[in-house]
Every structure is written in structure tokens, then in C-alpha cells.
Amino acid sequence: MKSNNKIFLTGLLTAAVLAVGSVSADSRGGASGYLVDSEGNVVRSSGGDCWHDSSWSADKATVVGCDGVVLDPKVEVIKGEGTGLVAAVNIPAASLFAFDSDVLSEDGKKAIEDYRKTLRPELAQAYAGVVVGHTDSTGDPKYNLDLSKRRAENVRQYLVSTGVDADKLRILGRGDKDPIASNGTAEGRAQNRRVELVVIGEVRALDAFRFPSVALFPRRSGELTAEGKALLEKNRQDARDQLSRATYIEVVGHTDDVGDDDYNLDLSLQRAEAVRDHLVSVGVDPSKIATVGMGEGMPIASNNTPEGRAENRRVEVLLLGRMK
């Protein structure tokens, strides 16, 4: 085992639950005052408007997503659990690439395999693998940022060619932003030129902010509402220390299982990207953030009830604490 291989656990956030709204329902399990289908879902027009039944009145406008109603949403702040192991290894860039090149050499491929043997859990069983490129501080910062990302992407492509699931792999290019040694010496600069492989065993290892989609987006839309931006901003302010310390931020969109799989996957990615773009616009470092659309692939509740489907329609901001 190489001496610079390390095992890390994530830092913890303080758990908190904000406010939660309710949805009124009649004895059939549908929403009172609204037309519902056989599964209790509110029937909507092609334009997305909720259809009223003959009993509807203004006091029954309590269904989130209908008639402009956005109730005070339940936003969970979930601390990562120490049992969800995170492993990381630093590989010197000189072992992988020729000077100023992003082309992975044959020796570099062998080096990845040698280092990968030390990582547990294996990528095949892990929630995700993050490939992070780094440079020293020599040269133009913009160039370094681009080079680090290209190198990370080529390591990712090699891992995919060996059979690693492409959907499990994320890439970041950090340029010269995360030195592990002084850039004042040749030896220090050599240490800073590296590619880091981070394996996240389980999603529960990551601290999480969980937002109901209805609190952020109009129905079937990937464009943040003004209310959604305000909700994100409130939580960003509350978590600014954690966001600034995080080594890695993953924004993940999720849907329920209603509708076309490909549509849901695309919508979930659009929503993740919209949240990412907002975070970047208010000052979060974009080189730390990856976006993922999971579609209906990671439910946290049953899709057999309206309540369960509402829980599954969500966006999560996952944080990996700074490694020490």
C-alpha cells in the first residue's frame, strides 16, 4: 500500500428540520375540492392547471402546486453518518501524464490500477467516485483550471473503459486552489500536481440539504421560482461555513416514477443544474460542484401514494467535508 493513501470520514452538520406544510385530503385519499384520478393524483390540464370539482372553494386551495399554493416547505438538513465510508488516494500527475499534457500515458494507466487496488469499497459497489484534478500555482490560473479538469476527465474515461459505471463517476478540476504543500519549492509543486480519486461508499456519508421540488420549481419545469431562490438563499446563508469548507458539493435532482423515464431523468438533471447555477451566482465556487440527475432511481418513499411521490420529488445538495 502506498504511504499517501488515506481513509477519511466526512465532517458532520448539525441536523435541523424547518417548517412543514400539509395537504388536505378527502376520505378517498385525494385532495378535497379537486378532481383526482384512480390513484388519488390531482388531474391537471395540458397547461398544468389543477382541475376543480364541484365542491371546490377558495378555502380548499391548500394543495401544494395548485392554484399558486406553495406551503411552508419541509427542508431537511441531514448530517452524514460515519458508517458511510469515504476513501481517497492522491496520484502524482507525473505518474499519469507527460509535462503539460492531459493524455494519460500507458504508465499512467498502470499507476491507476496499482493505486485503485487500495481503495475500499470498490467503485462497483460504491455510491460514487469523484476524480479531482489539481495543479501547482505556476502559470495562468485559468489555464491551470482547464488543464486540471481535462486530466480528471481523461482519468474518468480510462476508468469507464475498464468497466466502471460511467454514471457513478464525477469530475472536478480545481486548478491550483487546493495545495497540499508549499508552492515555494520544486518538491512542493510536484506534490500539488496530482489527481485525487475519492470513493464515496454510501450517499449517507454525505451531509445533505433536501428540498422538495414543489418549493423550488413550477410543475414540470426546470426554472427556479423567485420563492425557490429565496428558500435556497436562506439555507445557503445558514450553511455558508459548511459550503466554504466542503471539498465536494453534489447537487442531485430526483423525481417520482410517474411518466416517461427519460423525461424524468432529463427533468431531474435540469433542476439540479438550476440549483447549481443559483449557488454559483451567489458566490459558491463552481469548481467544487457536480450535478447529477437521478430521475426516479433513488426513491426515499413509496411511489404508491401521493405523499410518497411528493417526498421523492426533491433536490438534494450533498456536501463532502474538507479532508484532513
For residue 30, being part of any structural domain is answered with: no
- Name the residue with higher pLDDT: 55 or 144: 144
- Segment 295-319 shows an average pLDDT of 93
Question: Do 72 and 129 share a structural domain?
Answer: no
Question: Do 192 and 106 share a structural domain?
Answer: yes
Report DSSP letters for 208-271, one per residue. EEEEEGGGTS-TT--SPPHHHHHHHHHHHHHTHHHHHH-SEEEEEEE--S-S-HHHHHHHHHHH
Q: Is 87 helix (H, G, I), strand (E, B) or coil?
A: strand
For residue 139, being part of any structural domain is answered with: yes
Structural domain for 129, as ranges: 85-201
Provide the CATH number for the domain around residue 107.
Answer: 3.30.1330.60
Question: Do 215 and 76 share a structural domain?
Answer: yes
- Segment 209-236 shows an average pLDDT of 90
Single-letter code of the amino acid located at 114: D
For residue 29, being part of any structural domain is answered with: no
Domain termination residue (choose one: 159, 179, 201): 201
DSSP state of 42: B
- Name the residue with higher pLDDT: 63 or 126: 126
Q: Which residues contact 239 (CB under 8 A, 6 or more apart)?
A: 13, 77, 209, 319
Q: Is 148 helix (H, G, I), strand (E, B) or coil?
A: helix
Q: How many domains does the chain have?
A: 2
Buried b (16+ CB within 10 A) or exposed e, 306-316: beebbbbbbbb
Residues 24 and 88: their CA atoms lie apart, in Å, by 48
Examine the pLDDT at 318 and tell me if it is beyond 80: yes
- Name the residue with higher pLDDT: 24 or 291: 291
Give the lowest-confidence range in 189-198, 222-231, 271-280, 293-302: 222-231
For residue 250, being part of any structural domain is answered with: yes
- Segment 61-82 shows an average pLDDT of 72
Nearest by Cα to 38 from 51, 29, 25: 29
pLDDT at 11: 34
pTM: predicted TM-score of the whole model, two decimal places: 0.77
Residues 76 and 53: their CA atoms lie apart, in Å, by 34
At 122, is the pLDDT very low, low, confident or very high (cuts 50, 70, 90)? Answer: confident
pLDDT at 216: 92
At 14, is the pLDDT very low, low, confident or very high (cuts 50, 70, 90)? Answer: very low
Q: What is the distance of C-alpha 112 from the center of its chain?
A: 25
End-to-end CA distance of the chain: 19
For residue 26, being part of any structural domain is answered with: no
Question: What Rg value do the Cα atoms of the chain yield, rounded?
Answer: 22
pLDDT digits (tens, 9 = 90+) for 20-71: 223 333 333 346 788 888 766 788 887 678 889 888 888 777 676 677 665 4
DSSP state of 283: T
Please state, rounded to an integer, the average pLDDT across all residues of the chain. 84
Examine the pLDDT at 179 and tell me if it is beyond 90: yes
For residue 10, being part of any structural domain is answered with: no
The answer to whether the beta carbons of residues 196 and 89 sit under 8 Å apart is yes
Residues 151 and 172: their CA atoms lie apart, in Å, by 10
pLDDT at 277: 97
Question: Do 238 and 181 share a structural domain?
Answer: no
Find the DSSP H helices in the chain.
Answer: 106-116, 141-161, 186-192, 226-238, 240-245, 261-281, 306-312
Evaluate the omega torsion of the peptide bond into residue 121 and state whether it is cis, within 30 degrees of 0. Answer: yes
pLDDT at 97: 96
Give the lowest-confidence range in 36-45, 177-186, 240-249: 36-45
Question: Do 305 and 275 share a structural domain?
Answer: yes
At 171, is the pLDDT very low, low, confident or very high (cuts 50, 70, 90)? Answer: very high
pLDDT at 264: 96
Question: Do 240 and 291 share a structural domain?
Answer: yes
pLDDT at 47: 67
Domain termination residue (choose one: 201, 227, 250): 201
Question: Do 175 and 95 share a structural domain?
Answer: yes
- Residue 186, Cβ density class (10 Å: 0-12 exposed, 13-18 middle, ≥19 buried): exposed
pLDDT at 58: 80
Domain termination residue (choose one: 151, 170, 201): 201
